[in-house]
Amino acid sequence: MYNETITYYSKNPFNKFEMDNFDVEYFEENEVCWDDLKIFLKIRDNFIENWSFTWDTAIITTACWWVYWESIIWMWLDEVLELNYTYIVELIEDEVSDRRKKASVLALLTTRNAIHKYLDDWIVEDFDDVIPN
Mind listing the pLDDT tens digit for each residue in 22-73? 999 999 988 777 788 899 999 999 999 988 888 766 666 777 777 788 889 8
Checking 112-116 for CB contacts under 8 A at 24+ apart, the result is 112/80, 112/81, 112/83, 113/26, 113/28, 114/24, 114/25, 114/26, 114/39, 114/41, 115/24, 115/41, 115/77, 115/80, 115/81, 116/81
Domains and CATH numbers, the chain: 21-130 (3.90.1010.10)
Mind listing the pLDDT tens digit for each residue in 93-126? 778 878 788 888 998 999 999 999 999 999 999 9
| DSSP 8-class letter at 16 | B
Q: What is the pTM of this model?
A: 0.87
Which uninterrupted H or E stretch holds 105?
Answer: none
